[in-house]
A and B are shown apart, each in its own frame.
Chain A
Amino acid sequence: MFCEKAIELIRELQRNSEGQLPAFNEDGLRQILQEMEALYEQNQADVNKAKSAARSDLIPSIKLRHCCLLRNQRCIMAYLYDRLLRIRALRWEYGSVLPANVRFHMSAEEVQWFSQYKKSLASFMRSLGGGAGLDITQDMKPPKSLYIQVRCLKDHGEFEIDDGTVILLKKNSQHFLPRWKCEQLIRQGVLEHVVS
């Protein structure tokens, strides 16, 4: 039946809920585009027949095919756009460098869209407050306390805090650090917030 592959594409995204990004389904996309091409060619042929031979009985099937074309177009747009929104959410979750397993699931064009999005966001944040700049991907939660206890989950090397002190983030070491300096490292899985 027409449009079945398009629905399958949408279902695939829905199955991967909570912002997960499945591999880009280039094959599925190509199959839908092929179906669209076939529908379009049949319609062109029927339209010509309807005009030249006054075959008004062909008009309902032309209309049906056109609706299927529109539906396919809409499903493809929804698939692509929803993926962009998931990729966008990843920028806020992981920072500007995405983990390899996520990048692996993105198409070349999605990587391009993402790098442009990063650029736009960065220049937006740089130009805030008349050029003073503010990183709004930080401070995601209201501050409850100034310092938090964190445990290091992997070797991260040296890390400078505001007052110029440099500490070494070594695996399994524990530190008492300014909360806002740790936020991103926690999201990246370098540090873990120790809640006693």
Chain B
Amino acid sequence: ENESMSDSLSDDCVSQEEDVMTPAELISKLEEAWLNEKFSPELLENRSEVVECVMEQLTHMESNLQRVKKGDAKASVHRMEIDRIRFVLSSYLRSRLQKIEKFFPHVLEKEKSRAEGQPSLLSPEEFAFAKEYYANTETYLKAVALKRMPPNLQAVDLLKAVPEPCLDSFVFLQVKERQENIFVEPETDDQREYVVDLEEGSQHLMRYRTIAPLVYSGAVQLI
């Protein structure tokens, strides 16, 4: 399925780092980002470069399709591929936006405290959205209730009021690069911490917090 998806992606896409990605690589990058984002409890780093390349490809494929004769069998296969890729892309952006809305004070706080040179969590358009969402919600709460409350209760710390992502939730993962000596913290008081080796290709069910750095580095894939 992967192969057929990428057959119709014709031009190679140049990412920001100037290395050339083949269409097949691009689509598998999108799928990786999509699954990781879908299954991780917290918002991951943005992959705008992948999003932009995929959108370019979609536009390109659409315009190719316009030139194909009506009723051509090939056309419907291509149409199906476009629909699939667009679904994955939309679903990816949706799960990010849902997390941004759910955790908006924390997401903005993280973005604010980010050290210079560290990659940004949010894409520029997501950042704009998050700021507007924060301002809109704060204005609303103030106008409807807070400003009608006693003077010492007119402010609410949204960072405390809105729940944080639960990093202790469990996730399924598949190992892409072998890892040694992964430190696993005890789950209950009568357990001790231990270390595990993760073999390439093996699958595990682990606490997200334990393997979060490996998701960032791409050594494991959430499934």
Question: Which residues of A does B touch, CB under 8 Å?
Answer: 29, 33, 36-37, 39-40, 69-70, 73-74, 76-77, 80-81, 84, 88, 107, 109-110, 112-113, 116-117, 119-121, 123-124, 127-130, 132, 134-136, 138-139, 141-143, 146, 163, 178-180
Contact = CB atoms under 8 A, between A and B. Distances in A.
Given A123-B128, A136-B97, A129 B52 contact: yes
Interface stretch (B24-32, B137-145, B195-203): B137-145
A70 B153 contact: yes
B153 A81 contact: no
Contacts of B149: 33, 36, 73
Interface residues of B, number: 42
B140 A29 contact: no
Contacts of A142: 84, 87
Contacts, number: 112
Interface stretch (B37-45, B75-83, B109-117, B205-213): B75-83
B136 interface: yes
**Main SS at interface, chain A:** helix
B148 A139 contact: no
B80 A129 contact: no
A127 B94 contact: no
Contact of A143 (B80, B137, B145): B80
13 contacts: A29-B145, A40-B153, A73-B149, A73-B153, A80-B140, A80-B141, A120-B136, A123-B125, A129-B52, A134-B93, A139-B91, A143-B80, A146-B76
A153 B119 CA distance: 50
The B interface is mostly helix, strand or loop, or mixed, namely helix
Nearest to B96: A136
B11 interface: no
A139 B83 contact: yes
Contact of B70 (A109, A117, A138, A163): A163
A141 B94 CA distance: 12
Interface in B95-113: 97, 101
Contacts of B141: 77, 80-81
A139 B90 contact: yes
Contact of B55 (A40, A70, A116, A129): A129
